[in-house]
A and B are shown apart, each in its own frame.
Chain A
């Protein structure tokens, strides 16, 4: 299929999300659309998929103008979409999810379960995407859920164009590599692919051509040979340093000591299994690992949201077992949670209110139990300027901000009071290049003032960019502590629990559990 967009524009009131977008996808081509959060990529795809109606402009398929009044029309025209937030009904089987909306039926609307299973098997065989049609989606690892999404998108009556919206955001490195392989083989078999992303390495690895969007406009057409710096500059609109400048660490006294920490989760599995870890002042310890190996539980234990079943945590040399989170925060613990929507922000509250969530009880923000709105607002205005938070006003609800700016609100809040230890979990998840650069630099500055930082990240790039020491977590244990110049392969093997000579497969890890976001909890 040859897809052409001509002057596609979408306005929401006075705000123009997409402005006069031109774009051509040739048959069998992987066309990447690069852009920061809020650049208008998702709006563009939603118009293509019939979810939103364009304000003006047209969509041409093989030269014919089309107009979609809903996703059903787009599917009928041969477009399949894999959404950033998976659109899978958790308690349904794979087969039911795949044929939802275009069910295989017998007479009278009775479901033909066998035909539905067979159809899944056919598609998964044709494209080499292994799937069990009877598996329940919410029990599957994220990578497999995404495979379900791809099979679903390919199961349209004649899918010739696949839209992948930020498909790697939730995947582990091994799953990403597999996805890129799948994309290449799909393109070889003639399927056109629109690949939405802000991850430069992946775009470079897989795209045939690249369109860069900034603030709703096409700003550049690049070849995949373009350097990362070029792409980043086009996305952000200025030169971006991808390397973080930092001096060697000067670790001093221990700030965090975790000893034999064990947590048994509700399913009776040891999420943390006698974990030991130290973080000293003035260093960034990077905790690498495939998600679901105990990182979440560790962070929650340090903050005090989770009571360990065994072991000790000391902050600044003091055992904090009996301290509640408020006490730990007051004593100088900073926390950037991995799920900002759930643990980091009250999204209905204003930006200003979110900025003082951990200090609203203290002077000058409150006097005698009454919040001083003027002081809160002044702090908000200052923080918005200092941390370059893009918001219409301090009174805007946090929910209306883009992911990167929401993250800046959290960073601003955590950095605007003295602290001795910072736990940063996935600090740049879903955050674009410009904001990532900013956050990374702040973390290094923070380290240089003597804070101990525990950086939990599933992105090896981030670990390499920031960490002064790398600890690898697997199955709730630290399986290795290595220097930051250790080769990727070595860490990669540690991450999947293989001994250094062995070989392993991250994807079959039974503990790589889907997160809420992926199975329909995202509302």
Chain B
């Protein structure tokens, strides 16, 4: 081939600094708000207490609240100013993430500086991981479905079916682990219906998902009323907390990682297992192909609808198991609508995690952490930020992330699109 005599295209921007007025002003205002709070509300004698409540019980860190809030406010404001003056394109997102993190940290430190409030680091982090579990299972189920090109909006319904069936089977067999298996099968039964309608009958998947949610809610609520009439069908069954001997005594890591219930470990293993399966195996390659460009997969001899059917059915095992969290992992009996919409939050976690199991882990931890903080602040009676307000945080995070702060979340190209052999 001949030599290339072209002029490279004229670039505008690239690695050169660019101004971001809106984001910059927003961050600057947030930072100034913190600085103002530090001077106006916080005296220089205000302290934030951090305790390691499970291992080093006699240690008590007292941090100067005013100084830290000032510093974090200054960081946030400085990043805002940087954005207004011009920031290299590749630094924009990390800087934005730093500013948001600093702001949230400052609010936390401020909240825990109220008289009587103590940030019990180990309990809170361990609880955060535990509370991340339902999001983890729901979102992973969603990842498997949507990577295959089927939208599973019925995770909430699978949670309910799993939560209910788990308790019922545990009561009938007297074995809590049989209950967990029952939960998985119940979830799978629900997604199998979705899989059938989505592949064979090519029904609109969002509609099916909504219907499945309502069906699960109605069915479990009805059954709950029926079970109340009999004894010993809806009693609470629990699973023990596993303690890994001396490992559990390591500060912070011990209580968080080595003193948890089985579901936590299953969830963590599943994250890496599904990541490996998706990106390193034949099944994963075909699954992603079917979700991105089913006609391409079909032309290479991959049976698109059969793969979708089995993937979606298998994903139900995961979300069904996630349902067992609500009853068995929490040692609770089943109650009407006890999943309280967390199945939908799991969908948000999936999007925050950008349809990637590792991203899902990060998303689930953020949601678990904010949920835990909200609970803890509520219990400690910190009057500063109402607990309800903090409970909004996961949703605010979703909005910010989905709106593109950390990056545009891009769904698999054929997500939710039925496939007919012969389609282009």
Contacts and interface: CB of A to CB of B under 8 A. Distances in A.
Interface string B72-97: 00000000000000000000000000
A70 B301 contact: yes
Contacts of A75: 300-301
Contacts of B302: 100-101
Contact of B285 (A71, A81, A96, A270): A96
B5 A89 contact: no
A503 B5 contact: yes
B70 to A, nearest CB: 38
Interface in B271-327: 280-286, 288-289, 292-293, 295-303
A102 B300 contact: yes
A503 B300 CA distance: 40
Contact of B292 (A108, A109, A503, A520): A520
Contacts of A522: 424
B117 interface: no
Interface string B1-43: 1111111111111100000000000000000000000000000
- What bracket does the count of chain A residues touching chain B fall in? 35 or more
B382 to A, nearest CB: 45
Interface in B50-104: none
Interface stretch (B170-178, B260-268, B340-348, B414-422): B414-422
A310 to B, nearest CB: 12
Contacts of B2: 503-505
Nearest to B412: A91
B423 interface: yes
B304 to A, nearest CB: 11
A428 B284 CA distance: 41
Interface in A280-336: none
Contacts of B297: 89, 100-101
A36 interface: no
B203 interface: no
A511 B9 contact: yes
A338 to B, nearest CB: 18
Given A97-B296, A520-B296, 18 more contacts: A46-B422, A70-B301, A75-B300, A89-B293, A101-B300, A103-B282, A109-B281, A111-B280, A111-B281, A111-B282, A152-B300, A268-B14, A504-B3, A505-B1, A505-B2, A522-B424, A523-B295, A523-B423
A269 B14 CA distance: 9
Contacts of B296: 86-89, 97, 100, 520
Contacts of B402: none
B338 interface: no
A70 B14 CA distance: 47
Given A497-B5, A503-B5, A510-B8, A100 B300 contact: yes
Nearest to B419: A523
B82 to A, nearest CB: 20
B108 interface: no
Interface string A174-203: 000000000000000000000000000000
Chain A interface main SS type: loop
Contacts of A268: 11-14
Q: Specify which of A85, A100, A498, A509 lies most central, judged by the most chain B CB atoms within 10 Å of its CB.
A: A100
A109 B12 contact: no
Nearest to A76: B301
B413 interface: yes
A89 B11 CA distance: 29
A203 to B, nearest CB: 23
Contacts of A87: 293, 295-296, 299-300
Interface of A: 46, 49, 51-52, 70-72, 75, 81, 83, 85-92, 96-97, 100-103, 105, 108-111, 152, 264, 268-270, 273, 475, 496-499, 502-505, 507-511, 520-523
Q: Specify which of B288, B295, B300, B302 lies most central, judged by the most chain A CB atoms within 10 Å of its CB.
A: B300
Given A85-B424, A87-B296, A102-B300, A502 B5 contact: yes
Given A46-B422, A87-B296, A89-B289, A508 B1 contact: yes
21 contacts: A46-B422, A70-B301, A72-B300, A83-B299, A86-B296, A87-B293, A87-B300, A88-B296, A89-B293, A100-B285, A105-B281, A105-B282, A110-B281, A268-B14, A497-B6, A498-B5, A503-B2, A504-B5, A508-B6, A510-B9, A523-B423
A103 B285 contact: yes
A496 B9 contact: no
Contact of A52 (B301, B422, B423): B422
B169 to A, nearest CB: 31
Nearest to B298: A71
Contacts of B295: 85, 87, 523
Nearest to A293: B9
Contacts of A108: 281
B189 to A, nearest CB: 27
Interface string B208-223: 0000000000000000
Contacts of B6: 475, 496-497, 504, 508-509
A523 B300 contact: no
The 6 closest A-B pairs by CB, nearest first: A72-B301, A101-B300, A268-B13, A87-B296, A520-B293, A109-B282
B422 to A, nearest CB: 6
Nearest to A270: B10
Nearest to A496: B6
B413 to A, nearest CB: 6
Contacts of B424: 85, 522-523
Interface in B393-424: 413-414, 417, 421-424
